[in-house]
Structure 1
Amino acid sequence: MIRVPATVLAVLAFALAFVGLVSRYLPVDNEIVLLLASASPYLTAAALASMALFAVARRWAATILAATLCVVMLAVLAPRYLGPEKTSVASVALRVLTANLGMGGADPRAVVTLASSAADVFVVQEMTPQAAEAMSAAGLDRVFAHRAIDPRPSADGIGVWSRHPIVASGAIEGYQMPMLSTRIRVPAVRFDVTVLAVHLAAPWVQPLRWFSDDIARLPETLRALADTAGSGAVVVAGDLNATYDMSPFRRLLDEGYRDAAEQAGAGLVRSYPSRPWLPSVVGIDHVLLRNCAASSAYTVEVPGSDHRGLAAIVDIPADPTAS
């Protein structure tokens, strides 16, 4: 009697896992694909459940099929847990922290304490004028002597604070929210490090086409940064409002970029939402790297914000001529 209900449940679990896997390779042109792709890592559990249920029902061919699906889904996840990658190249460690301030609602003193202990370069999004003033008053400018900031109301503000000199900065136009490109002179590094502060439109609180247009345009910006930087390191940090499992996000990696969390073997690195009563379930805050490598990546609490911050230790190739 148990074979029929077990088979029905197994078929449902298999179908859920299968569409979760397929959604990773589809364009994010509707909210269903968006949700399925974001949930894809968790739907691996449905594949495991379907395999077990088919076995209970003694549907052996279906059990093998479900086991194959499990292997594929686990293989998709595995690279994010393998690392960090080893290199023999001499490097300089640069600590990068990105934090969405939750429309300026993050506790300024807590943010300054966090940034002071975890970052050499601090990238912020959703920085209101009031938040910028409060963080400066709390001592952020004393810790980070250099800054390029564009505070704005609501979710539009963005900025970069650095312990090292910012030798150039400029806005990147054409996106729903401001982006800020900077070049930072890091001691013992031959070429200035390009740091792009980025915040893409959110696909679930704004029209989906805004997000689609932003993330479709971003590869062009990343190519331009790479061309300008040449052999120099490029660090792209911020709230991309996309998970690693969305195909438009992975297309950002086609120009020689790597996701810091994946490169460091840090796993899913969930950053949103962040509330005491609500655990983080998706990783939409990222650090992307070119001509450098992450040896560590992890999330940190940002009190008062609805995001966790993302910190990464980035190894920048050292200048071989530096003494």
Structure 2
Amino acid sequence: MHESQSQEKVTQNNISKIQVILERRLREASERDSFKSQLQGELTRACVEEVCIQEQFPLFPSLASAMPTQWTRTGLFSNIKKGERRILRSEVLEGRSDYRVRMSGEELDMYDNDVFLHAVQLAQGLSIGEPVYFERAAFLRAIGRGSDLSAESYCRLHESIERLASATIFVDANSSGETFRLIDKLKWGQENNYWIMIDPMIVSLFANSYLAFIDMEIRLRLKSPLAKYLQNYISGHSIGVHRVAWESLRRWSGSRGRARDFKTRALPPALNELEGVGIIERWGIKDEVVSWTRIAHARSKRRS
């Protein structure tokens, strides 16, 4: 009987040791899980902070707006005349072969471009989901239309904003692609105030792309739509001499007149405008090629 009690005691001791070991292992596992959760939380917070930084609309130089450089080499915003606007359905826009842009909606002209560029100015520093507020009279003054605050002028602005909100853009580049709207949401009220939200894809695109900075102070002094298109195009290139086939500019800019008229009647006055405001100098047209020298901005420290 004594031997039986001894064996029972040994068994109980072994069970107690196993329980102690098991409890220790469970505590260690719990601590590991807690530590793992803590690390995951820190990583999640870091990722959220990084995304917020990436998806914030960038800040531009003083008095400038911007467009992705690739956009300046397409017909996204075109030099079309009154009455020429077409309705597009997934139509490929004129542009370089390495960056194909398709669009559905009403064609966008250089007035629409002015409206978009100022909306982008107002969106600087905002994150995805943050709205842009503006009053329509102040908006018209900012894009150089402040001398005419008529009902017709307000209607033209509203129609332009609606075109930007309804246009759908498709981009195909290097076996990848994306689709977006220039303005994601739009709201307006009786007090002449507007509320717009830039498409999240646009915010991300501006935050992670090479941008062409467009001087809006100089833009207000340009009169012809073609000169404004060329300002976009030239702003997407480096300082110095540049050459391009004038026929390419005619197609990319959406100019639909005769090629000869573009070369002799439309292009020279537009280049003269750009030279007059200090964007280019020493321009010339020879045979099939137009050339110019892009000048460093007056406020830029970069001279080459």
Which interval holds the TM-score relative to the shorter structure? under 0.3
**Greater helix fraction, Structure 1 or Structure 2:** 2
**TM-score relative to the length of structure 1:** 0.25
**TM-score relative to the length of structure 2:** 0.26
Larger Rg: 2
